[in-house]
Structure 1
Amino acid sequence: MHLQLAGKKLPASNAVIQRQEIIMSAQTITVYIDPTQQEAQQNNNYSLYLAKKVNDTFTVIWQSLGPLPTSTQPGYNYENTFQIAVPSYEVNYGTVTEKQGSVIFQGAGISIAINLGQSVDLSAGGEFYNIQNDGLPGTITVHNARQGNPHEILCDQSGYPIFVNIESGMDVGKATLTPIDTYQIWFGSYQESGTIIADNIGNTGIITFEDSDNATISYTKDGEWVQGKLPSNAAQVNENLKGKLTAV
């Protein structure tokens, strides 16, 4: 279920990227987990996942934290922070297949760096070219000339997948990608970041940004997602648990 992107990415306008980095550099999600639930989720060997909405849907695990830290992945704690600023994007196309009940996608082209409000042409031969500043604000437009309904793939500025069109792919003509400042968070069995979200995920929380660069959500002792921080007594329980672990 890995995403494989062929070739090297093509650059977008550095001036626009630098301006957007200044605007979006502080955008974060803070997640508090009740200590009782933290222990329960770790005992279940569940990871904590985050997905970003694109075109009114969530399809790909963008970021994740494991039950315990490893050499390749941090683990979740009582307080956790996701950095979600995306100063620019990368767009690509690929194939989507189903194997043994899992949806798998693979990049087929050379990804190209692009900014919101821009458009790019995809040739019949499968090359991206001709970035223009003529798209709608908040969207990325692909003028597709390639047959066979290639599936559009959207990645962040570092090449990590955010979205894959797993439904129908692009017809010849115009396709629009609209990233939305809405995020889904949940606990679940192990999946790697950059893979298609499993069909059987359970309790999810939704975070929506409105006129702010920071949002907070919490997972309560009762196993519910609520907006804002946990009550102060949960923080005290966390400190007590840390004290016990230190004394052992």
Structure 2
Amino acid sequence: MPAGQDKSVDIQIDPDDLKTLKDNNYKLCFAKKVNDTYNVVWQSAGDYLADNSFAWQPLYRLFGSNSFSGDVKVRVSTNDVAIGLGDQAVLDKEGILHDASTGGPPTEITMVNQFGKIHPGLSAYSTDVHGESSTTPIYVAEKEIVLGQDTLTPVEAVQVWFEQNIATSTMFSDARSNAEEIDLTTVNTAARLYSGGKWSTPTASSLYTDPATVLTIIATLTAAVSLYDLMTKISSRLTGVYKDFKAEVTSEGGTTVKIKYKEQPRLTGARLTQTRQLQQDPKLVDQLSDIALRAFAQLNVGYTAMQAIPGR
């Protein structure tokens, strides 16, 4: 189940609008399109600033829920499993969701339902406006399915809006007020400006530099692993002085994986300076390589070959 490219959106807010939104307890909300709809708050942030970055990779987990109800939080009723586009997973008659395997349309995720009435759902991995990574629900089917197969089609498009009294993982069935859809199906980054209560596309800013690739690791593992699990194990260790680095994990075929350590997008000022200074430390390659090795160990795999290539 190969992972795709990193995607990110930059949300800029005019200072006057920022004050109005904060004074009235509005939250900055994101949702991801699945099956041509948005119906779950992927992330909801209250401590946003004038410039905010939200990023993700197409790393999914499939689950089943007993219900869909607007304005309440998603309840994951089954176990969940890592899954990718072109994969399928069986929900057996006991209600156990089994590990994913290749099967189904290549641009969709398939649940093979042997259990009975269930609402299929998806969670996805993201990095919020504070740089914290997590996996939270992005979709629950509004109508339950019966025995048979159901396909879920996540699309690289997000919806952004401001709303009061709403939390991450809240389901909704009504259109959100003054929401902006951002299509990233053909690009990896996009920006929007919220000013005067309206959305627009800002001109490119010279304040930001493109995120640099710090280190690329190519490793042939002793067994196949879930790219999602490897990503989360590595990301959980990118804290402290490493908090402004991010990891991108892709498959090179077979049991070979590529891990790219990159700067977080849109770093400026002291954070960018500190990150660039850290890259001059000759120990950094060993330290980031050690993070990857620890992640391999957590997944109970070793490696037969590994290259660490600075700056590639």
TM score, norm. by length of structure 1: 0.73
Cα distance in 2 for partners of 1:168, 1:95 equals 10
Cα distance in 2 for partners of 1:198, 1:144 equals 24
The alpha carbon displacement at 1:137 in A equals 1.8
* Equivalent residue in structure 2 for 1:174, among 146, 149, 157: 149
The answer to whether the 8 Å contact 1:150/1:169 transfers is yes
Cα distance in 2 for partners of 1:181, 1:65 equals 21
* Equivalent residue in structure 2 for 1:186, among 161, 171, 175: 161
The answer to whether the 8 Å contact 2:65/2:121 transfers is yes
The alpha carbon displacement at 1:159 in A equals 3.5
Matched, 1:94 2:65: yes
Cα distance in 1 for partners of 2:166, 2:173 equals 8
Alpha-carbon deviations, 1:88-142, whole Å to 9, x = none?
21111012265xx744542221111111110111111111226321221221001
The answer to whether the 8 Å contact 1:205/1:226 transfers is no
Matched, 1:151 2:123: no
Give the structure 2 partner of residue 58 of structure 1.
Answer: 38
* Equivalent residue in structure 2 for 1:160, among 130, 136, 143: 136
The alpha carbon displacement at 1:201 in A equals 3.5
Give the structure 2 partner of residue 9 of structure 1.
Answer: none
The Cα RMSD (Å) is 2.2
Cα distance in 2 for partners of 1:161, 1:195 equals 9
Letter in 2 for 1:151: H
Deviating runs (4+, > 2 A) in structure 1? Answer: 101-105, 129-132, 197-201, 227-232
Matched, 1:141 2:107: no
Letter in 1 for 2:63: N
Cα distance in 2 for partners of 1:77, 1:107 equals 31
* Equivalent residue in structure 1 for 2:202, among 228, 242, 245: 228
Give the structure 1 partner of residue 17 of structure 2.
Answer: 37
SS at match of 2:21: helix
The answer to whether the 8 Å contact 1:119/1:133 transfers is yes
Letter in 1 for 2:162: F
Matched, 1:77 2:49: yes
Give the structure 2 partner of residue 128 of structure 1.
Answer: 97
SS at match of 2:105: coil
The answer to whether the 8 Å contact 1:220/1:230 transfers is no
The alpha carbon displacement at 1:212 in A equals 1.4
Unaligned runs of 5+ in 2: 126-133, 207-312
SS at match of 1:169: coil
Cα distance in 2 for partners of 1:30, 1:231 equals 11
SS at match of 1:211: coil
Unaligned runs of 5+ in 1: 1-15, 67-74, 233-248
SS at match of 2:19: helix
User: Which deviates further from its counterpart, 152-161 or 38-47?
Assistant: 152-161
The alpha carbon displacement at 1:230 in A equals 8.7
The alpha carbon displacement at 1:78 in A equals 1.3
Letter in 2 for 1:137: P
The answer to whether the 8 Å contact 2:71/2:170 transfers is no
Letter in 1 for 2:136: Y
The alpha carbon displacement at 1:200 in A equals 7.2
Q: Which has the higher contact order (CA 8 A, sep 6+)?
A: 1
Cα distance in 1 for partners of 2:60, 2:171 equals 19
The alpha carbon displacement at 1:198 in A equals 7.0
TM score, norm. by length of structure 2: 0.59
Cα distance in 1 for partners of 2:67, 2:204 equals 40
The answer to whether the 8 Å contact 1:28/1:82 transfers is yes
Give the structure 2 partner of residue 24 of structure 1.
Answer: 5
Count of aligned pairs between the two proteins? 198
